Amino acid sequence: MTGRIVLAATPIGNAADASDRLREALATADVVAAEDTRRARDLARRLDVSIAGELIAVHDHNEADRAAGLVERAAGGATVVLVSDAGMPTVSDPGFRLVEAASAAGVDVTVLPGPSAVLTALALSGLPTDRFCFEGFPPRKVGERSRALAALAAEPRTMVFFEAPHRLVDTLEAMAEAWGVDRLAAVSRELTKTYEETRRGALGALVDWARESGPRGEIVVCVAGRPAEAPSVEALVAEALERVATGERAKDAVADLAQAAGVSRRDLYAAVLEARSAGA
């Protein structure tokens, strides 16, 4: 008989966000693998749940050693529930090595979805959400952090970071230096808790706010990606002429390009006609 590994999302602040499936999983699992066993017991207490199975610690320092044993337990029929301190396991939390080992062994892995600090902050940010990337915690050392942010200078997607409150000012200053003080961003703290707060604005203004207010609590920073550069008129004319050369009507090509680039259709059409006359 084969058991399974269950990745169970836990509340990121408000215990009322816990699902009935999480309560059932904690109460019925053969093994509850927790990033911090004390926090797992406290969560169970707040949810009025008793953890009947074995409770063991699985964190960054021992996950590699314990993954094989947990997979073996699941292969033997046990249900192993993995919980992190808050949010979804494997997202800047333990779990990746366990899932990797389970996948290699052919052991079933499933997820109990739930709260996510990444998605919650992204939704609150007021920044584009159609495409985004999660970058975790920026490097602590100044040089490494500068190089990491410089490597993201051309990233067009909204970027999401975790950060500790005592490093927030330094990180925002580094971001402003790497990407410009006018780049839009949002800083969220204490998500779903009593003192939840989200500040939105340019990086330069957020640096001043963070320096003056000294925000505390768990923090998520969302930063807009690099804005797309508007194509030049010359480039638009060249593309229009290429499309005309393939048989498309000039007016159709110009209308399409002008709408996409946000330029005057009349001006672009005049430029295309002038370029065709010059090349005749």
| pLDDT tens sequence for the chain (280 residues) | 579 999 999 999 999 999 999 999 999 999 999 999 999 999 999 999 999 999 999 999 999 999 999 999 999 999 999 999 999 999 988 999 999 999 999 999 999 999 999 999 999 999 999 999 999 999 999 999 999 999 999 999 999 999 999 999 999 999 999 999 999 999 999 999 999 999 999 999 999 999 999 889 999 999 999 987 778 889 999 999 999 999 999 999 999 998 888 888 998 999 999 988 886 5
Across the chain, which distance is largest between two alpha carbons, in Å?
Answer: 85
What are the b/e assignments for 168-204, b being 16+ CB within 10 Å?
bbbbbbbbbebbeeebbbbbbbbbbeeeeebebbbbb
Whole-number pLDDT of residue 108: 96
- Give the Cα separation of 199 and 125 in Å (integer): 8
Judge contact between 123 and 220, C-beta under 8 A. no
What pLDDT score was predicted for residue 1? Answer: 54
pLDDT of residue 259: 86
User: What is the structure's pLDDT at 89?
Assistant: 95
pLDDT, position 228:
77
SS3 257: helix
Pairing between β-strand 219-223 and β-strand 184-189 as defined by DSSP bridges: antiparallel
**Separation CA 250–CA 191 (nearest Å):** 53
Name the strand (E) or helix (H) holding 123: helix 117-125
Considering only CA atoms, which of 244, 240, 265, 242 is closest in space to residue 255?
Answer: 265
How many other CB atoms are there within 10 angstroms of residue 205's CB atom? 17
- On the 0-12 / 13-18 / 19+ scale of CB atoms within 10 A, 7 is buried
What burial class does residue 225 get, using C-beta atoms within 10 Å of its C-beta: 0-12 exposed, 13-18 middle, 19+ buried? buried
Q: Are 179 and 153 contacting, i.e. CB atoms less than 8 angstroms apart?
A: yes
Rounded Cα distance between 95 and 61, Å, is 12
Q: Which residues contact 42 (CB under 8 A, 6 or more apart)?
A: none
- pTM of the entire predicted model: 0.80
Quick one: pLDDT at residue 220? 98
